[in-house]
A and B are shown apart, each in its own frame.
Chain A
Amino acid sequence: MMSLLQVYQLRKKYGNLLILRDISFDINEGDIIGLVGPNGAGKSTLLRSILAIEEVERGSVKVKNISNQNSDFYKFVSYIPSDNYLYMQLTGYDHLAFVANIYQLGKAAIEEVIDQIGISTYVDQPVKTYSYGMRQHLLIALSILTKPSIILMDEPFNGLDPTSTIELKELIRKLHAQRISFIISTHNLDILEDLTKTIWFIRDGMLFKDDIKLEMKLPYQIEVKVTDVTILENLMTDCQLPHQISENIVITDHNYDVGKYLEWLLMNKVQIQSVNQIKTNLEERYKHFYEVLKKDQA
């Protein structure tokens, strides 16, 4: 199956500083990719380079085999920027009408999107009167108006109140159900975790998109059946493996194989009730990734 978006060997410099180092990836229909990284890592630059807003040294970007040098590229790609690129003196409706006109859409499409996003109360006011959240809503409305194949979002949750955040997440899920792909760059890891499992890390111009490489050794939680916790404590102290005990739960250390713990417990005739790997959140994985990267670099 041909990929929806193909990025190949994208390289971008600011002066002597290499921002994007020969980044390549493919995105298929229906993918939601979360893009995370520290400030200055190149997230926004990557998105802008895909859109040809930024000039690159080399590389190619295609969507449905149409290069981003061709204006038809934008028939399939939408963008929600982190900075404000709207016209302050125009109304929200002016922006929507213009985009609809470019894409040869009718008034019905505009009204549909206004209802969908819920911006009818202020769509006829000039953008300069909008709050940050209202502007984000308008940008979202503009991005979905043209029913694109892929939407690039740069920090879309910034400045949104909790209700708007929930609404946006719902919308992304809804659009995702319609097979629209997303690349979402954000610092908000909790929200990203709710939306997707596919998280790409970017740092120093490099993109890390293969989870297997980032595989963490996660600790385990071993539930045992004991009459007296003190006995368990004494037993684990003797085994010389780092651990934590919480009532009848033994927490293994992620640097040690869980098998060693099980072997010790079984040897000491402790009845095992269950063994579960502890799930970590994205924040911990993020921290772990950048520690690993630091170690590798060192």
Chain B
Amino acid sequence: MKEVTSFVMKGILKSKYILLVPIVLIVFMATLLTINSQQSGATSQELQDKFEHRKETVNFLIGNLLNKKSHLGLPEEQQIALDSLLVQEEYLKEISTKLGIGDLDISTENLAYLKEYNVYENYDFINYNNTKLLEVEQLKAATLQRHDLTYTEQETPYNTALFSKQLFQIVFSPITAFLFLLIFIYKLISDDQNRTFEFFKVISLSNITVYYGYLMPFLILLLTYTILASFLSLLPPIVTGNLGMIHYPIEVVIDTDTLLVPVWKWLLYLPIGWGIFVSLMLVLAICLFKYRISFSFLIAIIAFPIVIAYIWSVHFGFHAVNPIHLIVSYEKQLLDPNRFIIYLVGMLILLIICFAACYPVFKSKRTVLRTSFFSHARKRYIPKPKWKLLQFEQIKKKRKGHVIFTFILLVGIIGGTFVVVNQAFQKLPTIYLNAIEDFQNILIDQQVQWKVIEEEFDLEAEKMKSISEESKDKSTEFPKENPYSIMIKDIENEYNNLEGLKDEIGSIDFSKKYREIMESSQSYKELDPSMWNVTVMASEEQQRILDEKNITPWPIGPQWISHFNDPSYAVDSVHYKLMKSSQERNTKYGNSGLFSLYKFLDWNMMLIVLGIYILLLWTSLSEEQRPNPSIHFLTTKPITFRSIYASKWLYNLVIAYSMLLISGGIVFIISLLIGGLGESDYPILVYATGITDDEMFFSNVDNVHFFFESLIVLIVKSGVLIVAQIFFLNSLFSLIGKWVKNHYVTIIITVLVSVAGYFLANQYITASFMHLNPYIYFDTWHIVDGWKSVLSNSSTVNFNNGWMILLFSGLLLFLIGFIQKRKRVS
């Protein structure tokens, strides 16, 4: 086994690509370091904003108390409260000063402030902080102080262990795991095709020796990669002397509780967990390879249990025997307290068992799957009489490996979207918690304002009473109770309702309760029409339709935020914060198949798919020109030049549509298992420009008509538009490929033309002729939901014109290439 290991290792080390790994790692880390260092400051800004806000509130309260003191005097408790506020003010000033000069070493002052606030809370006065959040803040400050650490940049770190954590989460991610597996499988299959395994057999090496000998170098490489990546990731904090930040506490929300987990736990867990997970995949891969499973089946068979394990974890939560938690969904269950140690040990034992279980597999002489259907031995091309040129294109692409690679990429992109949507949905409890606490903070601020006004009212009332008593005027009537007290009470009730709601996060009807608390009790119709904006109107009308159709609304939040209320349209930073907060409280989440598909279209992920088609999958005549003039191979056969052109064009279409259908279909079916189909009838807001209809609604504020269309109709329309986009792009690619002799130049020109077309379509969207630009219809979802017509201020930018223009221009481009004859005699 040592000989085989050494042989394989030499082969790997002599490969010209081996140096690529450390180079890519270094380049990537350096790039991320540069980006982070330039954008750094988000945490500092956040801290500054928080403490400034507190300081303003404290100053406000102090001001009012002093005012009251000067006129009426203060009762003893309020005097003590004032003293406490003054102490808090001092701490807050110190903190603000430090933060102002970029010094984040504020844990001591913060702890002192929080301790003082704890004391202040005992007095019967205005509490201006969320108590629950303060507990976490206090714990964090104490932890920082204990380890002699400062606050540090958490969003874009670059010189601390948090940067290492960020890097670890990338270099030890499911994607790198999958890449490692691909490289391993590729090595096995290519060595087999180069007859290396035959060579081993000929020199009388046993299967055990050979297969374990192949596994060992990759396990060594895995270990090397882990050590190298870990070392490089830890280099910045080591060099800058910030390694102590491995004790930095990171907030992890588990249900309704926020726990603090030190960074070192991630740094320990991620590489070990990832390493064990990849090792398990390699062991499985080599056992399957023993039976000479083809590449595509190998990937599929390995992916299958992984997908099942993921679905299991989504539906049934954490299980200690599920290896999927080695790379995903581990934070909640494992990092606190130290359960991850037991889990890792358990998984390590599993790995050892699997490693040992390989023995009988390797020893077995029988190769079960001899049929070429499963076998990766290069199958002979057996052509069929029909569609000869199409078949030939397919075999060319297949032999290059582009078909399987594109398929894997598409599954990755589409599947990745679904995973991202689902993962966001899994975080719903955290999102709800954040939204509730966010809203509670707003209520606290409002309450502070109203309490101060309540105090002022009381002050004023006392004043008036004194004056009246002095003047012995009994005609003046005094309110029996302070009207502001009722408002404060309402806010308190709302706060308490939200607090009670927190305990129900995770319950079945939580979403409904949340909506009920958050939604306005007043209909927009009760307001003046000059206040009817699309968001308010559409939210109510949508809810009405949902109630009529008995459809459960998508969480969270009762509002459907229209594009007009996108934070990018804010007039200033305060406006931006409000809009952003409103948007976050009403962002929609789901995990059903249709919802994920809606998100795929909304995020315009199709552009990436089209990019892959151009870069990787599609063929053109230019591919036949360089480096080998294989065009002469074709044209010296009884095949017309036009048929070659047309068959390449047709092949591109067929393969693009089939790929999309198959990869999308597979991912969609898996998503059905996770979240079900979803509501096809869900009403989606569609804008209408220049069209009036009695069925439509009109917003005076946003000056636009709108209506609702069911989700499935919009998805189908998007599908039609995508078909047309592929048709157009393919025709363009084919025509350019006919004129250009280099395939890479064809790709570059196609990409440049597309980027330019897309840029023009968006930059000059209001130009009168822009509806004729096919690229304006590449924003699929914004075409079908009518938003593009709003932006262009033209009703001609719509779905119907879109698919027609794309198809017509595509046909025109194809015909130009087709009709143009190849010159043989002048």
Contact partner of B825 among A56, A73, A91, A126, CB < 8 A?
Answer: A56
| Interface pick from A24-32, A92-100, A185-193 | A92-100
Query: With A and B bound together, what is the CA distance between A83 and B628 in angstroms?
Result: 8
Query: With A and B bound together, what is the CA distance between A95 and B392 in angstroms?
Result: 9
Q: Which residues of B contact A88 (CB under 8 A)?
A: 628
In residues 106-153 of chain A, which contact B (Cβ within 8 Å)? Answer: 107, 124, 126
Known contacts A52-B824, A83-B629, A102-B388: does B378 contact A91 (CB below 8 Å)? yes
Interface residues on A, range: 35 or more
Tally of A-B Cβ pairs under 8 angstroms: 102
Q: Report yes or no: B824 in contact with A55, Cβ–Cβ below 8 A.
A: yes
Query: With A and B bound together, what is the CA distance between A73 and B639 in angstroms?
Result: 10
Query: With A and B bound together, what is the CA distance between A86 and B640 in angstroms?
Result: 18
Interface SS, B side: loop
Interface SS, A side: mixed
Q: Report yes or no: B385 in contact with A85, Cβ–Cβ below 8 A.
A: no
Q: Which residues of B contact A72 (CB under 8 A)?
A: 638
Q: Which residues of B contact A74 (CB under 8 A)?
A: 636-639
A163 within 8 A of B: no
Q: Which residues of A contact B638 (CB under 8 A)?
A: 71-75, 102-103
Known contacts A71-B638, A75-B638: does B633 contact A101 (CB below 8 Å)? no
Contact partner of B632 among A73, A85, A104, CB < 8 A?
Answer: A85
In residues 386-402 of chain B, which contact A (Cβ within 8 Å)? Answer: 388, 391-392, 395-396, 399-400
Known contacts A56-B825, A91-B378, A97-B382: does B637 contact A86 (CB below 8 Å)? no
A277 within 8 A of B: no
Known contacts A74-B636, A74-B637: does B388 contact A93 (CB below 8 Å)? no
A37 within 8 A of B: no
Q: Report yes or no: B396 in contact with A89, Cβ–Cβ below 8 A.
A: yes
Q: Which residues of A contact B378 (CB under 8 A)?
A: 91, 124, 126
Query: Closest B-chain residue to A142, C-beta based?
Result: B633
Q: Which residues of B contact A51 (CB under 8 A)?
A: 632, 636
Please report A residues at the B interface, Cβ cutoff 8 Å.
51-53, 55-60, 68-69, 71-75, 77-79, 81, 83-91, 93-95, 97-104, 107, 124, 126
Query: Closest B-chain residue to A146, C-beta based?
Result: B637
Q: Report yes or no: A53 in contact with B381, Cβ–Cβ below 8 A.
A: no
Query: Closest A-chain residue to B384, C-beta based?
Result: A101
Q: Which residues of A contact B640 (CB under 8 A)?
A: 71
Q: Known pairs A59-B825, A81-B632, A89-B396. 7 more at Cβ < 8 A?
A: A55-B826, A57-B826, A69-B825, A71-B638, A74-B636, A104-B385, A126-B399
Distance (whole angstroms) from the CB of B631 to the closest CB of chain A: 8
B244 within 8 A of A: no
Distance (whole angstroms) from the CB of B19 to the closest CB of chain A: 23
Q: Report yes or no: B628 in contact with A86, Cβ–Cβ below 8 A.
A: yes
Known contacts A58-B825, A69-B825, A86-B628: does B636 contact A98 (CB below 8 Å)? no
Distance (whole angstroms) from the CB of B292 to the closest CB of chain A: 16
Distance (whole angstroms) from the CB of B198 to the closest CB of chain A: 14
Query: Closest A-chain residue to B402, C-beta based?
Result: A89
Query: With A and B bound together, what is the CA distance between A98 and B639 in angstroms?
Result: 12
Query: With A and B bound together, what is the CA distance between A91 and B639 in angstroms?
Result: 21
Distance (whole angstroms) from the CB of A79 to the closest CB of chain B: 5
Q: Which one of B633, B635, B636, B826 has the greatest number of beta carbons of chain A within 10 Å?
A: B636
Q: Which residues of A contact B383 (CB under 8 A)?
A: 97-98, 100-101
Q: Which residues of A contact B365 (CB under 8 A)?
A: none
Q: Report yes or no: A93 in contact with B380, Cβ–Cβ below 8 A.
A: yes
Q: Which residues of A contact B825 (CB under 8 A)?
A: 55-56, 58-60, 69
Known contacts A91-B378, A97-B382, A124-B380: does B637 contact A102 (CB below 8 Å)? yes
Known contacts A87-B396, A90-B396, A126-B399: does B826 contact A98 (CB below 8 Å)? no
Query: With A and B bound together, what is the CA distance between A227 and B631 in angstroms?
Result: 72
In residues 243-298 of chain B, which contact A (Cβ within 8 Å)? Answer: none
Q: Report yes or no: A87 in contact with B635, Cβ–Cβ below 8 A.
A: no
Query: Closest A-chain residue to B380, C-beta based?
Result: A93
Binary contact readout B813-826 vs A (1 if CB under 8 angstroms, 0 otherwise)? 00000000001111
Q: Which residues of B contact A84 (CB under 8 A)?
A: 628
Q: Report yes or no: B824 in contact with A90, Cβ–Cβ below 8 A.
A: no
Contact partner of A85 among B629, B639, B826, CB < 8 A?
Answer: B629
Q: Which residues of B contact A95 (CB under 8 A)?
A: 633
Distance (whole angstroms) from the CB of B648 to the closest CB of chain A: 14
Q: Which one of A79, A90, A107 has the greatest number of beta carbons of chain B within 10 Å?
A: A90
Q: Mind listing 9 A-B residue pairs with CB under 8 Å?
A: A55-B824, A59-B825, A69-B824, A74-B636, A85-B628, A86-B628, A91-B378, A91-B380, A93-B380
Q: Report yes or no: A55 in contact with B823, Cβ–Cβ below 8 A.
A: yes
Query: With A and B bound together, what is the CA distance between A143 and B814 in angstroms?
Result: 33
Q: Report yes or no: B399 in contact with A90, Cβ–Cβ below 8 A.
A: yes
B630 within 8 A of A: yes
Known contacts A71-B639, A102-B639: does B628 contact A93 (CB below 8 Å)? no
Q: Which residues of A contact B823 (CB under 8 A)?
A: 55
Q: Report yes or no: A97 in contact with B628, Cβ–Cβ below 8 A.
A: no
Q: Report yes or no: B399 in contact with A86, Cβ–Cβ below 8 A.
A: no
Q: Report yes or no: A58 in contact with B826, Cβ–Cβ below 8 A.
A: yes
Distance (whole angstroms) from the CB of A262 to the closest CB of chain B: 56
Query: With A and B bound together, what is the CA distance between A173 and B551 in angstroms?
Result: 83
Distance (whole angstroms) from the CB of A145 to the closest CB of chain B: 11
In residues 609-666 of chain B, which contact A (Cβ within 8 Å)? Answer: 628-633, 635-640
Q: Report yes or no: A98 in contact with B392, Cβ–Cβ below 8 A.
A: yes
Query: With A and B bound together, what is the CA distance between A122 and B388 in angstroms?
Result: 24
Q: Which residues of B contact A60 (CB under 8 A)?
A: 825
Q: Report yes or no: A90 in contact with B395, Cβ–Cβ below 8 A.
A: yes
Query: With A and B bound together, what is the CA distance between A124 and B379 in angstroms?
Result: 9
In residues 142-197 of chain B, which contact A (Cβ within 8 Å)? Answer: none
Q: Report yes or no: B630 in contact with A87, Cβ–Cβ below 8 A.
A: yes
Q: Which residues of B contact A69 (CB under 8 A)?
A: 824-825
Query: Closest B-chain residue to A127, C-beta based?
Result: B628
In residues 82-98 of chain B, which contact A (Cβ within 8 Å)? Answer: none
Query: With A and B bound together, what is the CA distance between A78 and B638 in angstroms?
Result: 11
Contact partner of A89 among B380, B391, B400, CB < 8 A?
Answer: B400
Query: With A and B bound together, what is the CA distance between A58 and B824 in angstroms?
Result: 10
Query: Closest B-chain residue to A143, C-beta based?
Result: B636
Q: Report yes or no: A79 in contact with B636, Cβ–Cβ below 8 A.
A: yes
Q: Report yes or no: A86 in contact with B633, Cβ–Cβ below 8 A.
A: yes
Query: Closest A-chain residue to B195, C-beta based?
Result: A125
Q: Which residues of B contact A100 (CB under 8 A)?
A: 383
Query: Closest B-chain residue to A75, C-beta based?
Result: B638
Q: Which residues of B contact A107 (CB under 8 A)?
A: 382
Binary contact readout B744-779 vs A (1 if CB under 8 angstroms, 0 otherwise)? 000000000000000000000000000000000000
Contact partner of B630 among A52, A58, A85, CB < 8 A?
Answer: A85
Query: With A and B bound together, what is the CA distance between A56 and B825 in angstroms?
Result: 5
Distance (whole angstroms) from the CB of A68 to the closest CB of chain B: 7
Query: With A and B bound together, what is the CA distance between A98 and B629 in angstroms?
Result: 17
Query: With A and B bound together, what is the CA distance between A86 and B628 in angstroms?
Result: 7
Query: With A and B bound together, what is the CA distance between A30 and B60 in angstroms?
Result: 110
Query: With A and B bound together, what is the CA distance between A51 and B630 in angstroms?
Result: 15
Query: With A and B bound together, what is the CA distance between A81 and B381 in angstroms?
Result: 24
Distance (whole angstroms) from the CB of B646 to the closest CB of chain A: 14
